[in-house]
Amino acid sequence: MAPARPARHVALLVETSNAYARGLLGGIRAYVRAHPGWALYLAEHSRHETDFSWLDGWQGHGLIARVETSETAAFVRRLGLPTVDLSAARLVPELPGVETDDDAIARIAVEHFGERGLREFAFCGDERFAWSRKREERFVHHVTQRGGHAQVFAMQRSGMRSRDRQRLARWLEGLPKPVGVLACYDIAGQEILEACTIAGIAVPDEVAVLGVDNDELIGTLTSPPLSSIEPNSTRTGYLAAEMLDRMMAGQRLEPGLRHIAPVRVVPRQSSEILSVDDPQVVAALRFVRDGAHGEVAVAEVLRHVGSSRRALDLRFVRLLGRTVHAEITRVRMERVAELLSTTDLTLPQVAERLGFKHSEYMSVAFKRATGRSPGQYRRDVRGTVVPGRE
């Protein structure tokens, strides 16, 4: 029997106070379970924690850190250990790192609002965080690419939440409506919904709100429930652990961030609007979405709304930029992605549940729509392989 590898002592300077960070920790845990021999050190702390006395006397081999303060950056440099950074702030630029793809988040948000017929866009950010500033920049870019203009609001912390919320409410009141607002993360999304309630603004009819992180607790406790983009934090943490393992084995990794694409939009009531000034298109869209759990034919949609294919396609393209058939495909592929990411169903079971005659046809259609096979998508989303579910 080969001798056991000596334990590698790794400290995790990752906060435990939010869903995204806990997802990172879950990915690290998944890697360690698959590659035993690590001894992990973790203390409960917040994003801006600067007290690292819990590591006094620690004799470690590596760090995985969210370096978001100058104090954390100084501490990491002082230790001089192999380190992987999980922050977009890049306060220690010589480190390799992993982060969520903020450009992809912004693009998906603009697409989400556009698919609902919205033509007005806005972003609510928190300038304390580099990832928020990046999301704002890319959101404005993607709106501009569509020929639109994005309104931008910077949240400020005065020390009085009621004052901050009133300022946010005044901004929301002044927006052209209906408007889609991307919140830089779910906590900001929650504050937007509270401000809308105070200002008497209807959600989603006047302001459709989309957050980031898919914090289940926040998303389902807000009124109305908050739609959110789900980042792949588990895969991000897994990759960070894999990179650190290689560094502790003596490999040198290039500095800079590796970007991980988000998983999907998790739609809830806060963004479920159909802002289309065409009753026939609205009726068709609702029919397609209501039938997403099974096979929907273009002919059925045409019968439902009483239109010819050419006439309805012209209306769809003018308002949404895609045909009826493309909308059916998009909605069905969204449902496939949801089942792949949230269940352990086999591909034949997914196909049967959604009315595909053959799982092979579903797989080809899914790869054409997403660029990934169902098996690859599931691996990317969950960071692990589901045995027998490829």
- Protein fold of 102-232+265-271: Rossmann fold (3.40.50)
Dihedral-angle region of residue 201 (phi above 0 means left; psi in -120 to 50 means alpha; beta otherwise): beta
Kind of pairing, strands 62-65 and 83-85?
Answer: parallel
Cα separation of 119 and 267, whole Å? 19
Chain centre distance of CA 367: 20
Q: What is the pLDDT of residue 386?
A: 37
Contacts 24+ apart (CB under 8 A), 59-63: 59/9, 60/9, 60/10, 60/11, 61/8, 61/9, 61/10, 61/248, 62/8, 62/9, 62/10, 62/11, 62/244, 62/247, 62/248, 63/10, 63/11, 63/12, 63/13, 63/244
Question: Which residues share a beta bridge with 13?
Answer: 65
Cα separation of 17 and 46, whole Å? 6
Tokens of 312: 């309805």
Out of 3.40.50.12140, 3.40.50.720, 3.40.190.100, 3.40.50.2300, select the CATH number for domain 8-99+233-261: 3.40.50.2300
Cα separation of 157 and 143, whole Å? 27
Tokens of 58: 């620690």
Domain map of the chain by residue range? 8-99+233-261, 102-232+265-271, 279-382
Would you say the C-alpha torsion 157, 161, 166, 170 has a positive or negative sign? positive
Q: What is the pLDDT of residue 270?
A: 94
Closest to 107 measured CA to CA, from 84, 138, 82:
138
Digit-by-digit pLDDT tens for the chain (390 residues) are 444 556 899 999 999 888 999 999 999 999 999 999 999 999 877 777 778 888 888 999 999 999 999 999 999 999 999 999 999 999 999 999 999 999 999 999 999 999 888 999 999 999 889 999 999 999 999 999 999 999 999 998 777 888 889 999 999 999 999 999 999 999 999 999 999 999 999 999 899 999 999 998 898 888 899 999 999 999 999 999 999 999 999 999 999 999 999 988 988 989 988 777 788 888 888 888 877 677 788 999 999 999 999 999 998 888 888 899 998 998 888 889 888 887 889 999 999 988 888 899 999 999 988 888 998 888 777 654 433 344
Q: What are phi and psi of 190, to 5 degrees?
A: -60, -45
In one-letter notation, the amino acid at residue 257 is L
Count CB atoms within 10 A of the CB of residue 48.
12
Tokens of 223: 């009124």
In one-letter notation, the amino acid at residue 135 is R
Cα separation of 233 and 212, whole Å? 12
Tokens of 50: 């600067």
Alpha carbon distance, N-terminus to C-terminus of the chain: 33
Contact 18, 215 (CB under 8 A): yes
Cα separation of 248 and 96, whole Å? 13
- Protein fold of 279-382: Arc Repressor Mutant, subunit A (1.10.10)
DSSP code of 269?
G
- What is the pTM assigned to this prediction? 0.81
- The residues, any chain, with a CB within 8 Å of residue 359's CB and separated by 6 or more, are 347, 348, 350, 351
Q: What is the pLDDT of residue 389?
A: 43
The secondary element (H helix, E strand) that includes residue 172 is helix 161-174
Determine if the peptide bond prior to 224 is cis (ω within 30°): yes
102-232+265-271 and 279-382: identical CATH topology = no
Scored b (16 or more CB within 10 A) or e, 263-273 reads bbbbbbbbbeb
Cα separation of 35 and 3, whole Å? 15
Q: What is the pLDDT of residue 99?
A: 95
Any idea which residue has 């809830």 for tokens? 268
Cα separation of 62 and 2, whole Å? 24
DSSP code of 56?
T
Contact 243, 96 (CB under 8 A): yes
Closest to 274 measured CA to CA, from 229, 241, 316, 314:
316
